Structure 1
């Protein structure tokens, strides 16, 4: 994530603008900014660094490195036209010529060991795997550290990591193949009834699997709040985050334990921003688009991924199901830092409900095969696996994700599973990061014109290492040294995101004039929400308990003031203590309860049955 870029110290506008949000200050919302809308990461980096000066690398901060060469002046208008006997001039390339030589890349590769080891020492991140592809050759592939703290097993290139949102460009590769005709039509050969996320499989629905196909045509029950938008929202709209759904819509339902089918069915309750005019990062919007393509092909998302990409590309250790990740003997488990700073394998992150958006697991070895395929226009080892034009379509800008924050800044775009950015000479840069607060951070960055890309996988909560390694690599290739110290910059932004969504109320410190609570019977009972389902308040040994979710999660309530209580949030989107306020009509029992962190879009109120 790009912090302050080349802005003056103390200017936090780039940090406020993180998330790819078009409305700074409004996207880092309770329970929604917390899962880290990492799609905005590269856009912000480019907007806040000096790519305006022409750098191809992602980290060319003004004054921190030599200025790149200026573009050649246009030919003089006085030059005579070629004679009829001369061959016509060649049309210009759609990309400027490469800036980096093999020696430049080799220099950056030679520094990677030290860069990774230094950052691991500084952050304590337990395990890392890194791979680099240049001109269809794997120049670097190595593992560092441990798969599980306290255990001897080391990370190697075959270690399976959870990719988090790095799943998105992989999924868009799958869809690119499916819409071009690759993959499997018809029911699953294995006779599976459901995929890992709980979406039922069926024979193909007779429609086309296309980027511009309405999602509702293939995904039964899919609807958004506006009926017209419901009928017109396409796979492209959902996978480029321009449907109008709010930032991270549906993620809190996942935290409560709801499955994919339920979450997608409730997107209709979310308020909508202007259709195709507003960017807001939505895991379950993206998931709906991808699942619609799988449904059109008549298979589960996992089978579509296997048949279209994983098996043809030889990505034998890659899967979209949590069960496959868990049964991998050589896997890196998730870690978070404890109160004393030591890293702990404390949480398990099952992302099956949003499998296309965040549920893929893979190895550095497999990711090198995917990166080679990407840089070669869909080819791998002489075989055309994904149609070139369909793959190119994923790289087109579909929506502005990050407007420039200064006259010298650059606009960031989102394509189909990619952050899409250009330097001032039109050189394309594609990237995506992945982040699980419960213990994973990943990054892929590639420069197609340079035929160069890097993948960084880690098994630790986001502290900036994955992103900083990638930035350092491109800086060293371009300038011979990092343009700035990226790690503390990323660490500061991730730390700020940790604070996003935290309640302004300190529930651990009730006011001196706090009113007493009513008798417990005034609050106990069952309450309903069309969006969040049932909420039950019961009395436990230590007081009131709030139950939420399909297999209800129990949250002990702590009294704060009058009819307001609090509980400690849990899960990927945890924001610390949040409030629960009961409201009464004329009677002695509460009529409604409102859960503070569930109410960001006005859906957090439950009414007594």
Structure 2
């Protein structure tokens, strides 16, 4: 009887503990999460969302909402793949930190030790650049500088490296943080020099497989063979559209991974457990420590509601102080997807949010809502706040667009005949661009973005309104430079999501 009583007592204690653990979940998670996400699917025009919360070494939440592709009933599940964009960078930083921990290289090695052909605009900078410099965005480039050339283009990795070497950074070496995708690509190119395996094979063999991330894909080119994967979507002038997947394997180490919340939960569990999944050491704890060590200063940081200080960058992770805790996080944006991964080591908490449009702020709103809930901070309804910001921005853009369309409808004459603007143009780094007159409009085509074009309509003088055929590149006012009665150049801009900096194409003939 005593044995039975003891077993009964143990059973009661286990049941009580299980209820206590469940009760420990914040009320937002228990009572509001489903309604919060389902409402957002409609308000933000998001076909599908997947979310996971890891707490105290266990999966606290793993849920999926909506569909993989607009207009279908094909539901997202925990194994559905999303492109995770720049959340790839933490994998690349970790891969190189593993090799550092194994003494196969040093993160302080000069890049030219492993890539003797590595070049920068300034030869001295090329000589002094270390692997750490590549992984913490301190080469001197402006954020996204060069990405229009590289992103979703027909350039090979070798050609991207060549063009990167010819691009003049806007700032001096190590003087300013500037987000540089091509630097992470370069870091990925060091891996085969050390291991004999390319970046994708190393990531798969040393991280994916040991963690059991069996559905994850290292390269965007592998998507065509995947069955359970979301379609890519965007929103253009309030209309949800399906778009092609990004072709970004020339920048693979910066952003080409596709994964699911199930697979990413294992990555996060390992990150929060000193490199272990269960009792198995997957990544040396010292390697993870290197990636989370501050290397670059972004600024003071801050938060619209709560206390936060400092904005820093490690090796593939953003770092900040928020409500007295260290936050280790990153976001990812690529054609048709935006995603978020957040670690709060002191709370043993990890948050993963994956979405299949590139035109929403909900992926960060949900992460912030979950984060605040677990930290005991007040509910803010970030989704509503961010949606208000976006709607105000869209309203202003719609007003500007109407004004532009009204101006075009009045038939403003360009300063010169359209044929004067047509011809062959050259950018010293990008290469060729051509402009032709087609059906009374100027059509601009780029050498390395085949199949895409910009349609330019006169705004008067030498100004034109350009609508790119690919929504990723947006709509921009462009202006030609004229010397005498001849066209000298066209300054090309694309959407800030791709690149902030302009490209001056010189007219050759």
Give the TM-score taking structure 2 as reference length.
0.83
Q: Label 1:349 to 1:597 Cα distance change in 2 as closer, same or farther (>3 A).
A: closer
Equivalence for 1:412: 311
Equivalence for 2:169: 271
Using the TM superposition, name which of 214-223 and 592-601 deviates more.
592-601
Aligned-partner Cα distance in 1 for 2:470–2:106: 35
User: Which runs of structure 2 are paired with 1:124-273 in the superposition (5 Å)?
Assistant: 124-181=45-102, 209-219=105-115, 221-255=117-151, 257-259=153-155, 260-268=157-165, 269-273=167-171
Equivalence for 1:110: 30
Aligned-partner Cα distance in 2 for 1:292–1:501: 43
Aligned-partner Cα distance in 2 for 1:597–1:452: 38
Instruction: Provide Cα deviations, 1:398-447, integer angstroms capped at 9, x if missing partner.
Output: 1112325699751111111111123575x3221112223x4212111111
Correspondent of 1:315 among 213, 223, 229: 213
Shift of 1:367: 0.5
Aligned-partner Cα distance in 2 for 1:498–1:261: 39
Q: Does the CA-based 8 Å contact 2:152-2:247 persist in structure 1?
A: no
Q: Does the CA-based 8 Å contact 1:177-1:309 persist in structure 2?
A: no
Q: Does the CA-based 8 Å contact 2:319-2:329 persist in structure 1?
A: yes
Aligned-partner Cα distance in 2 for 1:464–1:482: 20
Equivalence for 1:529: 427
Q: Label 1:226 to 1:372 Cα distance change in 2 as closer, same or farther (>3 A).
A: same
Aligned-partner Cα distance in 1 for 2:347–2:302: 27
Equivalence for 2:490: 593
Aligned-partner Cα distance in 2 for 1:494–1:465: 10
Correspondent of 2:40 among 119, 123, 137: 119
Correspondent of 2:294 among 387, 392, 397: 397
Instruction: Provide Cα deviations, 1:278-297, integer angstroms capped at 9, x if missing partner.
Output: 11122222222233334433
Is the aligned partner of 1:608 residue 2:505?
no
Q: Does the CA-based 8 Å contact 2:191-2:198 persist in structure 1?
A: no
Shift of 1:527: 2.2
Aligned-partner Cα distance in 1 for 2:240–2:430: 33
Partner SS for 1:474: helix
User: Which runs of structure 2 are paired with 1:541-556 in the superposition (5 Å)?
Assistant: 541-550=439-448, 552=450, 553-556=452-455
Aligned-partner Cα distance in 2 for 1:226–1:499: 44
Aligned-partner Cα distance in 2 for 1:286–1:514: 45
Equivalence for 2:3: none
The structure richer in helix per residue is 2
Q: Does the CA-based 8 Å contact 1:226-1:272 persist in structure 2?
A: no
Equivalence for 1:421: 320
Aligned-partner Cα distance in 2 for 1:303–1:582: 48
Equivalence for 2:279: 382
Aligned-partner Cα distance in 2 for 1:561–1:485: 45
Partner SS for 1:345: strand
Q: Does the CA-based 8 Å contact 2:301-2:320 persist in structure 1?
A: no
Equivalence for 1:467: 364
Q: Does the CA-based 8 Å contact 1:136-1:451 persist in structure 2?
A: yes
Q: Label 1:476 to 1:519 Cα distance change in 2 as closer, same or farther (>3 A).
A: closer
Aligned-partner Cα distance in 2 for 1:243–1:498: 34
**RMSD across aligned C-alpha pairs, in angstroms?**
3.4
Instruction: Provide Cα deviations, 1:170-227, integer angstroms capped at 9, x if missing partner.
Output: 3222222233339xxxxxxxxxxxxxxxxxxxxxxxxx54322222433464322222
Q: Does the CA-based 8 Å contact 1:257-1:549 persist in structure 2?
A: no
Aligned-partner Cα distance in 2 for 1:551–1:342: 24
Using the TM superposition, name which of 596-605 and 168-177 deviates more.
596-605
Shift of 1:319: 1.5
Q: Does the CA-based 8 Å contact 1:319-1:361 persist in structure 2?
A: yes
Shift of 1:395: 0.4
User: Which runs of structure 2 are paired with 1:350-361 in the superposition (5 Å)?
Assistant: 350-361=247-258
- Aligned pair count reads 479
Partner SS for 2:210: coil
Q: Does the CA-based 8 Å contact 2:476-2:494 persist in structure 1?
A: no
Shift of 1:156: 0.6
Q: Label 1:108 to 1:593 Cα distance change in 2 as closer, same or farther (>3 A).
A: closer
Q: Does the CA-based 8 Å contact 1:157-1:364 persist in structure 2?
A: yes
Using the TM superposition, name which of 456-465 and 589-598 deviates more.
589-598
User: Which runs of structure 2 are paired with 1:23-62 in the superposition (5 Å)?
Assistant: none
Q: Does the CA-based 8 Å contact 1:129-1:157 persist in structure 2?
A: yes
Q: Label 1:476 to 1:424 Cα distance change in 2 as closer, same or farther (>3 A).
A: closer
Equivalence for 1:431: 329
Q: Does the CA-based 8 Å contact 1:221-1:265 persist in structure 2?
A: no
The structure richer in strand per residue is 2
Shift of 1:511: 11
Shift of 1:124: 3.5
Equivalence for 1:6: none
Shift of 1:305: 0.8
- Listed as ranges, the gaps of 5+ residues in structure 1 are 1-99, 183-207
Q: Does the CA-based 8 Å contact 2:151-2:248 persist in structure 1?
A: no
Shift of 1:517: 4.5
Is the aligned partner of 1:288 residue 2:186?
yes
Aligned-partner Cα distance in 2 for 1:555–1:566: 9
Using the TM superposition, name which of 468-477 and 238-247 deviates more.
468-477
